């Protein structure tokens, strides 16, 4: 099998490029290759994501232009080092999945594919890279990763503890969260956002960042109506979840056709929006942790209290999820058209102190290492081994 003296970044979605950007841009572009996971089920989704990734790279990172579909090189070559979030496996049919095909008639929720993490088959040294601040503390890290990754680059105290407990002999380094560790001052981001969205500078900036969810049409319309009212009083930006455009198209189109000011820019690092904001409103997911990481005031939108959806109960209310654990510590509201309540949250000085305490509890302030240094060190080591 051919050995390639390069560093591969394993990508599944367009947002992975943005997430990796603060690391791969510190590495010589001649050494960097992006491996796109086209072996995951759903060819239409893969094609769209591949094209989005190519566009982001060509526009934002033209020097880092080498992107390869995994299917083209699988079992033909291996890289010195591979960096992956372990976020999405590959899918294929096997004898085991063939049996599942027949069982599917009796168990409708059964996945008929065999999920495999093939990072170790693609590289001599595999590095897990933190991709998300939200974790399910019961299942993270997944057991399969023990034989997949050699090194773990973590973002939080709890992440490190969970990995250490399950994989005690693995090397673990705290890298913070590079996507959010930019050095640009908040004032610059705020000015940029005000100019881009043509806001009035005296108004407070509120960013609405919902997690991925499927909602019925009447509820989506009601949600948009509440947000439109909110936009009369504040500079409001709504950024629909990037996956909605493929997985919840009707919902996505309702937002797109609304009077709201939307951020639909796949190339944007959400840290710009969070940094520029005076208040983040979200319903769950990593945004809760990202806002705390950047020490931003936070309001939870408990829309599910008004309309319960069976398929959302577990994900948004699972007590093992870190976002669910944390959101009980910050203000929440069912109706976003309660302007007076939102003004109180914005003016609540004790909330900022609470956010800072949560930041200190879950994240390391100092003693962080640079992800690119760990990657380059292991690349050189593997290169010396020949």
- Check residue 366 and give its pLDDT: 79
Do 229 and 289 fall into the same domain? yes
> Which of 204-213, 285-294, 302-311 shows the lowest per-residue confidence on average (mean pLDDT)?
302-311
Do residues 247 and 106 share a domain?
no
Same domain as 232, residue 314: yes
Q: Domain range for residue 193?
A: 186-362
Give every CB contact of residue 107 below 8 A, 6+ residues apart in sequence. Answer: none
Strand partners, 355: none
Residues 154 and 39 both lie in one domain: yes
Is there a cis peptide before residue 141, judged by omega within 30 degrees of 0?
A: yes
Examine the domain organization and report whether 231 and 140 are in the same domain. no
Res. 98 pLDDT band, cuts 50 70 90: very low
Q: How large is the average pLDDT for residues 220-234?
A: 93
94 and 173 both lie in a single domain: yes
Same-domain pairing of 72 and 47: yes
Q: Give the model's pLDDT for residue 386.
A: 62
pLDDT over 80 (residue 182)? no
**Length reported for the chain:** 386
Helix axes 14-24, 43-60, angle to 10 degrees: 40
pLDDT bracket for residue 94 (50, 70, 90): very low
pLDDT (average), residues 214-218? 83
The whole-angstrom separation of Cα 207 and Cα 190 is 12
| Ramachandran category for residue 295: left, alpha or beta (phi over 0 → left; psi -120 to 50 → alpha) | left
> Of the segments 11-15, 146-150, 238-242, which one has the largest average pLDDT value?
146-150
* pLDDT, average across residues 54-77: 93
Instruction: Kindly tell me if the per-residue pLDDT of 104 is higher than 60.
Output: no
Q: Is the pLDDT of residue 218 over 90?
A: no
Task: Tell me the residue ranges of DSSP E strands in 193-269.
Answer: 205-208, 235-238
Cα separation of 158 and 230, whole Å?
36
DSSP string, 286-346: HHHHHHHHTT--EEEE-GGGTS--HHHHHHHH-TTBHHHHHHTTS-EES-TT-HHHHHHHH
**Closest alpha carbon to 35 in 15, 62, 61, 7:** 7
CA contacts within 13 A on the Cβ side of 256: 12
Do residues 205 and 293 share a domain?
Answer: yes
Answer yes or no: is pLDDT of 314 > 90: no
Q: What's the pLDDT score for residue 92? A: 57
* DSSP designation for 117: -
Q: Identify whether residues 83 and 157 lie together within a single domain.
A: yes
Predicted TM-score (pTM) of the model is 0.86
Same domain for 352 and 376? Answer: no
Verify that 216 and 170 share a domain, yes or no: no
**Averaged confidence pLDDT in the chain:** 87
Helix (H) or strand (E) holding 93: none
pLDDT tens per residue, range 167-180 = 999 999 999 999 88
Query: Residue 20 is part of a domain; what is its CATH number?
Result: 3.40.50
Query: How high is the pLDDT of residue 213?
Result: 82
The tally of domains found in the chain comes to 2
* Paired strand residues for 10: 35
Percent share of the chain, pLDDT over 70 = 89
Q: Tens digits of per-residue pLDDT, 348-378?
A: 989 999 999 999 999 987 789 999 999 999 9
String of b and e for 138-165 (b: at least 16 CB within 10 Å)? eebbeeebeebbbbbbbbbebbbebbee
Binning pLDDT at 50, 70 and 90, where does residue 255 land? very high
pLDDT bracket for residue 34 (50, 70, 90): very high
**pLDDT at residue 331 above 60?**
yes
Contacts of 217 (CB under 8 A, 6+ apart): 250, 251, 254
- Write the CATH number for 317: 3.40.50.12580
Please tell me whether residues 151 and 234 are part of one structural domain. no
């Amino acid at each position: 099998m051919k050995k390639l003296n390069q560093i591969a970044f394993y990508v599944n979605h367009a947002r992975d490029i943005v997430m990796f950007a603060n690391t791969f841009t510190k590495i010589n572009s001649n050494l960097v290759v992006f491996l796109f996971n086209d072996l995951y089920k759903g060819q239409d989704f893969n094609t769209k994501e591949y094209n989005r990734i190519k566009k982001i790279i060509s526009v934002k990172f033209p020097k880092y232009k080498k992107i390869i579909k995994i299917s083209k090189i699988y079992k033909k070559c291996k890289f010195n080092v591979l960096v992956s979030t372990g976020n999405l496996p590959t899918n294929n049919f096997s004898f085991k999945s063939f049996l599942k095909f027949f069982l599917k008639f009796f168990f409708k929720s059964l996945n008929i594919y065999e999920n495999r993490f093939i990072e170790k088959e693609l590289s001599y040294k595999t590095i897990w890279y933190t991709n998300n601040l939200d974790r399910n503390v019961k299942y993270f890290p997944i057991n399969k990763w023990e034989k997949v990754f050699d090194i773990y680059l973590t973002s939080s105290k709890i992440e490190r503890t969970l990995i250490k407990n399950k994989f005690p002999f693995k090397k673990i380094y705290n890298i913070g969260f590079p996507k959010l560790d930019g050095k640009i001052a908040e004032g610059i981001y705020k000015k940029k956002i005000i100019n881009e969205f043509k806001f009035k500078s005296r108004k407070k900036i509120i960013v609405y960042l919902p997690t991925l969810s499927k909602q019925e049409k009447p509820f989506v319309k009601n949600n948009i109506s509440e947000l439109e009212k909110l936009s009369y009083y504040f500079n409001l930006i709504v950024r629909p979840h990037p996956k909605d455009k493929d997985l919840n198209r009707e919902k996505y189109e309702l937002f797109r056709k609304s009077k709201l000011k939307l951020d639909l820019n796949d190339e944007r690092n959400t840290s710009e929006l969070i940094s520029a904001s005076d208040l983040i409103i979200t319903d769950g997911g990593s945004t809760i942790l990202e806002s705390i990481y950047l020490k931003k005031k936070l309001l939870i939108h408990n829309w599910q209290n008004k309309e319960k959806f069976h398929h959302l109960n577990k994900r948004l209310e699972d007590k093992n999820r870190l976002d669910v654990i944390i959101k009980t510590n910050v203000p929440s509201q069912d109706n976003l058209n309660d302007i007076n309540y939102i003004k109180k949250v914005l003016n609540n000085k004790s909330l900022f102190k609470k956010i800072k305490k949560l930041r200190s509890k879950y994240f390391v302030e100092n003693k962080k290492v640079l992800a690119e240094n760990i990657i380059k060190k292991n690349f050189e080591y593997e290169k010396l081994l020949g």
